[in-house]
A and B are shown apart, each in its own frame.
Chain A
Amino acid sequence: MRPVLLSGHERALTQVKYNPDGDIIFSVSKDHVVCAWYSGNGERLGTYHGHVGALWSVDVDPTSTLLATGGADNTMRLWEVKTGKLLKTWEFATSIKRVEFSPDGRLLLGVTEKRSGHLGTIVVYEIDPEKGEDQSDEQYLRILCEESKATVAGFSYLAKYIIAGHEDGSVTQYDAKTGEEYKNVQVHEPDMMVTDLQWAPDRTYFITASKDKTAKLVSAFDLEILKSYSTDTPLNSAAITPVKDYVILGGGQAAMDVTTTSARQGKFEARFYHKIFMEEIGRVRGHFGPLNYVAVHPKGEGYCSGGEDGYVRVHHFDKAYFDFKYEVEREQANL
């Protein structure tokens, strides 16, 4: 099926997200604007204005009432999804690279950038959906990343752990209540930045993408590397699909080199791998810049990708996607 092209942003996309129902897509870009779209037809639902710098991250709470964003204007903001009203602004010394709600929506996490005089941190605030604008300024938790700054982070099942990916290619497991560091594992090549970390639906394992051209499936319990997917291009994002056992990887040549190469060589494709067999199944072309983020529909009906080219492409999976099975899967299904 033809993808739906969402062309509302003027600059490179940085993150795209489905809401838990999968009917709305939120997108943030370097053009300071947050957009909300209907995932079914690509119609724009609305925009959220207020940020005065490039946006790096967006997340929506489990009830689709609150929206969190973070960006280069050193603020993390909370919005009301329905009205577009700015509820709360938290200010920091450096920009916010990643925001994420806990599975129950009661905690909000932010990753702050490292800059001279400021170490990278992971901060957590308590959120009370009932209170609206009256959110707490007090940090529930603050984790200092002394070794290597965190680039991505998220909550595991039950908000038991906070798992963070670092600039040096390692992944850390923290206690989400005390901030105590349990474990640090060098999941990717040393000094190859972890560019993305996305969860399986039950948040017991996650996938990381890295500049070392691989994506890894890692257990949230003990950070054991379960699977490894290697490609021929630096990766910016990786997502796990529900329903089918696939993963989707996105990336492409570094954005700064893009103008010097053709689209063909840039490898700006979404790549599908089988989650368990680690084999490439297919690719989807279309973007003419690297893919900065891929997000999967929570019910596994489609996926969307945000590119350096400023477009969001929304794809709905067709029948062939669901019918495809390896012979061993088929024989297991027939048992």
Chain B
Amino acid sequence: MAPSYDNLPVDEDYDDEEIDFSDLHEQYEVRMEEGLDAFVVIDGLPVVPEDSRQKLVKFLLRKLNTVGKASESGVFMPLNDQAMTEGFAFVEFGSAEQAAAAVKALHGTPLDKRHTIAVNKLTDIDRYGREGRIDEEYQPPHIEDFHEKEHLRSWLGDYDARDQIVMYRGEKVGVFWNEKEDAPEPVVDRDHWTDFFVQWSPAGTYLTSLHAQGVQLWGGKSWSRQKRFGHPGVNLVDFSPNEKYITTWSHRPIQIDENHPAPGLSLEEDGKNYIIWDLATGKPLRSFVTLDVPNASVDEQGNPVKKKMQWPTFKWSADDKYVARMTQGQSISVYELPRMNLLDKTSIKIEGVMDFEWAPATPHRADIKAYEQLFCYWTPELGSNPAKVGLMSIPSKEIVRTRNLFNVSDAKLHWQSDAAYVCVKVDRHSKSKKSLATNLEIFRVREKGVPVEVVDSLKDTVINFAWEPKGDRFVLITAGEIPAGAPVPPKTAVSFFCPEKAKGNVVGNFKHIRTIDKKNSNAIYWSPKGRFVVVATLQSQQSYDLDFWDLDFEGEKDEKDKDLTANLMLMATAEHYGVTDIEWDPTGRYVATVASFFRHQMENGYHLYDFKGTLLREEHIERFKQWLWRPRPPTLLSKEEQKKIRKNLREYSKVFEEQDQIKRDAGNRQVVEARRRLLEEWRAWRAHVIELLREEGAEDAVPLPEKGEGEALDDEKEAEEVEEIVEEIVEETEEVVA
């Protein structure tokens, strides 16, 4: 029976006075002293006689008024029996906010050489200084017992070396094993695992989920929560390359209510947009505000052009030791980890700097003993100075190489994955500023003196460029002039480049292999292992092409290509309606193409191809949002071991093919068995039905006995067409024609 007013148990005789509420009082104590929030207590002042007190107050006020407003009458410096000050003072500020700002800014700052002041809020002194609030005796903190954690890389031990995928569809996030043609095998599937999207950490250790309250990392065999980073309203997240640190960003500055701070955050983070966290401890290292980009550019109507935010803003060096941010047009600030202090306590001034990129690997430069990190930057033309591209070594801040460029309207920096080259794609305008052309300036970072090679000037603008990972070839896409107001995007051309064959252990000059005209392609996706590349048309309304290219085709080589280190071949062309994203698996064996609900609502789902462009599987899933392969950490095998495997590849592949065949046969057998069972069940049911009908004496009444079950149509030949014309006289009239 549900309790109602009538049958509530009658109060047994309690006397309110007898109950000890003190614990509750303490817990829910209402802070009455709101009016005292504007007061601070300053300790550590010099002890002075009464007549110099006025001077000290004036001196002190000058300091206090840098952060808030306090008047002379608001400072109370009591005297003791000897008419000396006590070394402390009470100060009233104009408002509670000013008092808080004073505590934040002035606490622990030196007043002069001998005195350092301590600034505390009066309410804090009251709260913590009261007797009994703080234990006199030191209590060692309780240290949790050690629990062994799950192995975070257990997925790499899969017997069949399958790769994992995370799929986000509808409100569900699931991790699956890739099963090629067959339905992916689920590992874990959870509702509402993330609020916005999911992301893998760079080596695949953690799965990141984003929530209104912050970021969570998941991993291990049981997919338990590994870490949590409270960042209210977080929008984006970025990892350092070796998963040591994590950056979170929200477009909204963090607001810290000092009485109820979000877990893990302190006043330090108030008003900040970025937080850089130590991933192992889960503690914030340092926080930053978003810099306003000096945005002078306006469009034709005179409205300010909204610039796309660059992400990541804080860029990591390859070894996780440095993180840098650019203040556009002025400087680059490099922070050293793990302390997050500014390198040499100052930003690197680079006048006009537009963009910079770290080398994605530690560059192995010739004639250098200790390899340092390197970043590349560029500056536009300033006054009579030409535009410049530079390479700077960190931490020595030595400028390794610069190159002057003229008539530059824009530049893009593309590092090759081993940091062997950096290609600067320079968009140049003619003197009249009308037509555009593109130059590729390739810095050969590993060679002595960092020589620069200029690849022929391309007439059209290059809209996309991509280096072969771990290789030295590249693909670029150019687009013709766009007639103003044209309804269709211009046709594009795809060009392939590779180095010439050269004697000795050097890389020859870059040469053009081939250009494919009249395409719509706009995206380049290299296999992470190189050699294969998918050139695709993404987010277009008309075409959805996917071209699968091989740059080392094992077949007849064209005579004119004999000096080139590539043999180009189009292996396959596919089409995926509404494709928005393309993802290579980390081993370079499979390509997934996705039509994501994030972009449109048409035929959401995925296709899975092998590297040759053979369609293995396609699936339409309503509200399909993301498909992400789980990245793999770098291999632990040495160069020699890898070479050995490559040499014996045929032996291995024989074993694998056998395994595949066995699996396929087993699968087929199962399917066939299931079908045979279904067919037998159906026949049995039909026989039963006919029996039933016979019992009811109905078999004659059945208009047409069901043929079916594979009987051929036999009366087909007998069918004959009879055409009969029936004429009927509807009405007959007779008229006499005069």
B476 to chain A, nearest CB (A): 32
- Write out the residue numbers on chain A whose beta carbons fall within 8 Å of the beta carbon of B698: 157-158
Residue of A262, A277, A278 ringed by the most chain B CB atoms within 10 A: A277
Partner of A300, one of B676, B713, B721: B713
Judged by a CB distance under 8 angstroms, whether A191 is at the interface is: no
- Write out the residue numbers on chain A whose beta carbons fall within 8 Å of the beta carbon of B689: 202, 204-205, 219, 221
B34-91 residues with Cβ-Cβ distance < 8 A to A are none
State which of B25-33, B392-400, B630-638, B702-710 sits at the interface with chain A: B702-710
Q: How many residues of B contact A (CB 8 A)?
A: 33
A192 to chain B, nearest CB (A): 16
Taking a contact as CB atoms under 8 Å apart, the answer to whether A299 and B713 are in contact is: yes
A243-298 residues with Cβ-Cβ distance < 8 A to B are 243-245, 262, 264-265, 276-278, 298
Q: Please, what's the 1-or-0 string for B681-718, where 1 marks a CB less than 8 Å from any CB in chain A?
A: 01001000100110010100111111111111101100
Q: How far is the CA of A301 from the CA of B693 in the complex (A)?
A: 27
- Write out the residue numbers on chain B whose beta carbons fall within 8 Å of the beta carbon of A130: none
Taking a contact as CB atoms under 8 Å apart, the answer to whether B602 and A265 are in contact is: yes
Q: How far is the CA of A207 from the CA of B105 in the complex (A)?
A: 78
- Write out the residue numbers on chain A whose beta carbons fall within 8 Å of the beta carbon of B709: 245
Taking a contact as CB atoms under 8 Å apart, the answer to whether B693 and A204 are in contact is: yes
- Write out the residue numbers on chain B whose beta carbons fall within 8 Å of the beta carbon of A277: 675, 678-679
**In which size bucket is the chain A interface?**
35 or more
Per DSSP, are chain A's interface residues mostly helix, strand or loop, or mixed? loop
Q: How far is the CA of A40 from the CA of B723 in the complex (A)?
A: 12
Taking a contact as CB atoms under 8 Å apart, the answer to whether A226 and B672 are in contact is: no
- Write out the residue numbers on chain B whose beta carbons fall within 8 Å of the beta carbon of A20: 703
Judged by a CB distance under 8 angstroms, whether A326 is at the interface is: yes
- Write out the residue numbers on chain B whose beta carbons fall within 8 Å of the beta carbon of A328: 672, 675-676, 679
A228 to chain B, nearest CB (A): 12
Q: How far is the CA of A325 from the CA of B710 in the complex (A)?
A: 8
- Write out the residue numbers on chain B whose beta carbons fall within 8 Å of the beta carbon of A332: 679, 710
- Write out the residue numbers on chain A whose beta carbons fall within 8 Å of the beta carbon of B707: 242-243, 300
Partner of A232, one of B620, B672, B703, B708: B620
Q: Please, what's the 1-or-0 string for A29-46, where 1 marks a CB less than 8 Å from any CB in chain B?
A: 000000000001000000
Q: How far is the CA of A15 from the CA of B705 in the complex (A)?
A: 25
* With A242-B704, A328-B676 as contacts: A265 and B603 at CB distance below 8 Å: yes
Q: Please, what's the 1-or-0 string for B370-384, where 1 marks a CB less than 8 Å from any CB in chain A?
A: 000000000000000
Judged by a CB distance under 8 angstroms, whether B335 is at the interface is: no
Q: Please, what's the 1-or-0 string for B575-602, where 1 marks a CB less than 8 Å from any CB in chain A?
A: 0010000000000000000000000001
Q: How far is the CA of A110 from the CA of B311 in the complex (A)?
A: 66
B346-360 residues with Cβ-Cβ distance < 8 A to A are none
B289 to chain A, nearest CB (A): 44
- Write out the residue numbers on chain A whose beta carbons fall within 8 Å of the beta carbon of B676: 328
Partner of A262, one of B602, B693, B701, B712: B602
B717 to chain A, nearest CB (A): 13
Q: CB-nearest residue of chain B relative to A22?
A: B719
Q: How far is the CA of A49 from the CA of B458 in the complex (A)?
A: 72
Q: Please, what's the 1-or-0 string for B507-518, where 1 marks a CB less than 8 Å from any CB in chain A?
A: 000000000000
Q: How far is the CA of A203 from the CA of B707 in the complex (A)?
A: 13
- Write out the residue numbers on chain A whose beta carbons fall within 8 Å of the beta carbon of B675: 277, 326-328
Q: CB-nearest residue of chain B relative to A327?
A: B672
Judged by a CB distance under 8 angstroms, whether A318 is at the interface is: no
B contacts, CB < 8 Å to A: 577, 602-603, 620, 622, 672, 675-676, 678-679, 682, 685, 689, 692-693, 696, 698, 701-713, 715-716, 721
Known: A201-B706, A204-B689, A301-B716. 19 other contacts (CB 8 A): A103-B701, A104-B701, A157-B702, A200-B706, A202-B705, A203-B703, A204-B692, A226-B682, A242-B706, A242-B707, A245-B708, A277-B678, A277-B679, A298-B704, A300-B713, A301-B713, A325-B710, A328-B676, A332-B679
A contacts, CB < 8 Å to B: 20, 40, 62, 103-104, 157-158, 160, 200-205, 219, 221, 226, 232, 242-245, 262, 264-265, 276-278, 298-301, 322, 325-329, 332-333
Show 24 A/B contacts (Cβ-Cβ < 8 Å), sorted by A: A20-B703, A103-B703, A158-B696, A200-B706, A201-B702, A201-B704, A202-B693, A202-B703, A202-B706, A232-B620, A242-B707, A242-B708, A264-B577, A265-B602, A265-B603, A276-B682, A277-B678, A298-B704, A299-B713, A299-B715, A328-B672, A328-B675, A328-B676, A333-B710
